[in-house]
């Protein structure tokens, strides 16, 4: 087994025991990047190999500062990293090199990570397909003609292809979960507030997006979450941190999972997705869980109304300075312009109504979680689609009226900040991966991860590596 095939947790244990050195781990991953990144295009702004090897050799004999000691990491290109080109996928920042780390990068650096570059993302993170005019498109390691999803598409593809041992991502709509499902890895959206952002811009109203971990094992996800989580006293709404690793191996007998499927037909699905998730749920039952199919607990159109209103409000405010400059506005992608223009036309009454809907839905789901432990939904409504598309225009003959309507199934979780893990559930007829969302009430992050750990121990889908990158045969 080559070093790039090991989990990040195993590599960390091997480094701590001095079985391998950080420089050996770095060399193995840089070699893997050289071998496959040209086809996948997941890692961007890759730093000089000699410089990286020198940093890794310095870590060989240095005292560990944290769990990530000596591990190579590429940070999502929506997060600023000191001294590393950071573009947000935008031509406006194509040559931007930050002078300081964002909080997330600072925490991972303090835990010992060696930053090798960035992972690709859609421009400004808008849309669940990772392409932009700076770096081009990231392709799915399981089928290079298909998308890796987004906006954490570079992170998910880098993990799946063995270029990264563990990765960070971020999620407003479904950006940690959708690409994880498309690339046969794990992506965890924490309870909102558990992983705080920087004290920049609005920090009171902007409660939709969060950063979080991705990995090929749930243990890796839990360990990276422990690095990322923790109060930032400069921003509101922090949450207490638990020992996510110690709580992973729990008895799952009798846990109650509510299967919400396609939300009573509200969310069109391509053939095979629901069936694959239902097969996974039957396996959960064999593991001791109790699965119950429930009708939609809240009107889908109300959730959509609330979502698009609040999202547009935040985008219009956040991009106001760029939009007001005609030269800069001309370099924004159409989807971003649409978001801004929607938000600029909003009334205070519309925003208030959206917030009331969100509030009522939160209360409704709190009552549901008094009866069940978790809810389950597909992680996507379509299989990984052709990489040349901007976004799917229709599902099952139903036209999509926005660039992100095709991923509406993530909104019931995103809108109210539930902790949710995207778990791989296998492959469809075209050998394309798919995932399922497992979510719990706010604050139940450790319990959601424990459910995922039980699933991983029973299935380990990520061990089935991409055949196109591994000599034509998938490893089981």
Catalytic residue ranges:
76, 151, 175
18: exposed, middle or buried (Cβ count in 10 Å: 0-12, 13-18, 19+):
exposed
Whole-angstrom distance, CA of residue 32 vs CA of residue 317: 41
Query: Would you tell me how many other CB atoms lie within 10 Å of the CB of residue 401?
Result: 7
Q: Which residues pair with 75 in a beta bridge?
A: 118
Whole-angstrom distance, CA of residue 178 vs CA of residue 62: 38
Whole-angstrom distance, CA of residue 53 vs CA of residue 286: 47
Q: Which residues pair with 118 in a beta bridge?
A: 44, 75
DSSP string, 203-221: SSS--S-EEEEEESSHHHH
Query: Would you tell me how many other CB atoms lie within 10 Å of the CB of residue 471?
Result: 9
Q: Would you give the distance in Å from CA 309 to the centre of its chain?
A: 23
Q: Are 443 and 434 in contact (CB under 8 A)?
A: no
Determine the straight-line distance between the first and last CA of the chain, rounded to whole angstroms.
13
Whole-angstrom distance, CA of residue 198 vs CA of residue 234: 8
**Among 157, 158, 160, 151, CA closest to 131:** 151
Q: Which residue has the tokens 């005292």?
A: 63
246: exposed, middle or buried (Cβ count in 10 Å: 0-12, 13-18, 19+):
exposed
Task: Give φ, ψ of 116 to 5 degrees.
Answer: -100, -15
Query: Would you tell me how many other CB atoms lie within 10 Å of the CB of residue 398?
Result: 12
CA dihedral angle for residue 362, residue 364, residue 365, residue 367, rounded to 10 degrees:
130
**Among 2, 97, 116, 100, CA closest to 53:** 116
- Helix, strand, or coil here: 75? strand
């Amino acid at each position: 087994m080559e070093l790039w095939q090991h989990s990040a947790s195993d590599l960390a244990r091997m480094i701590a025991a001095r079985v391998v050195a950080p420089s050996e781990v770095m060399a193995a991953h840089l070699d893997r990047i050289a071998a496959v990144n040209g086809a996948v295009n997941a890692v961007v702004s890759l730093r000089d190999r000699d410089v990286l090897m020198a940093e890794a050799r310095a870590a060989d004999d240095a005292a560990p500062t944290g769990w990530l000691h000596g591990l190579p990491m590429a940070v999502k290109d929506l997060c600023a990293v000191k001294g590393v080109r950071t573009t947000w996928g935008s031509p406006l920042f194509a040559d931007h090199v930050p002078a300081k780390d964002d909080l997330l990068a600072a925490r991972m650096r303090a835990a010992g990570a060696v930053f090798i570059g960035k992972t690709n993302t859609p421009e400004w993170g808008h849309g669940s397909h990772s392409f932009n005019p700076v770096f081009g498109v990231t392709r799915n390691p399981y089928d290079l003609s298909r998308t890796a999803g987004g906006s954490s598409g570079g992170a998910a593809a880098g993990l799946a292809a063995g270029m990264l041992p563990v990765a960070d991502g971020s999620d407003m709509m479904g950006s940690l979960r959708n690409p994880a499902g498309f690339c046969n890895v794990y992506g965890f959206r924490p309870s909102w507030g558990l992983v705080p952002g920087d004290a920049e811009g609005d920090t009171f109203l902007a409660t939709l997006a969060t950063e979080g971990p991705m990995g090929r094992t749930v243990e890796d996800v839990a360990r990276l979450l422990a690095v990322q989580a923790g109060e930032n006293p400069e921003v509101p709404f922090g949450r207490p941190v638990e020992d996510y690793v110690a709580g992973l191996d729990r008895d799952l007998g009798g846990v109650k999972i509510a299967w919400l499927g396609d939300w009573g037909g509200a969310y069109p699905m391509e053939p095979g997705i629901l069936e694959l998730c239902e097969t996974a749920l039957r396996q959960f039952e064999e593991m001791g869980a109790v699965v119950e199919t429930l009708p939609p607990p809240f009107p889908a159109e109300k959730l959509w109304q609330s979502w698009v209103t609040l999202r547009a409000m935040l985008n219009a405010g956040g991009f106001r300075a760029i939009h007001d400059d005609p030269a800069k506005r001309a370099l924004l992608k159409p989807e971003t312009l649409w978001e801004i223009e929607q938000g600029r036309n909003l009334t205070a009454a519309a925003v208030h109504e959206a917030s009331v809907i969100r509030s009522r839905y939160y209360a409704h789901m709190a009552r549901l979680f008094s009866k069940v432990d978790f809810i389950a939904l597909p992680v996507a409504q379509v299989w990984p689609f052709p990489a040349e598309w901007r976004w799917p225009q229709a599902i099952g003959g139903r036209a999509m009226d926005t660039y992100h309507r095709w991923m509406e199934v993530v909104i019931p979780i995103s809108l109210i900040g539930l902790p949710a893990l995207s778990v791989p559930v296998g492959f469809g007829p075209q050998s394309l991966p798919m995932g399922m969302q497992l979510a719990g009430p706010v604050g139940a992050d450790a319990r959601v991860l424990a459910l995922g750990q039980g699933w991983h121990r029973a299935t380990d889908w990520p061990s089935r590596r991409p055949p196109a990158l591994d000599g034509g045969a998938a490893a089981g």
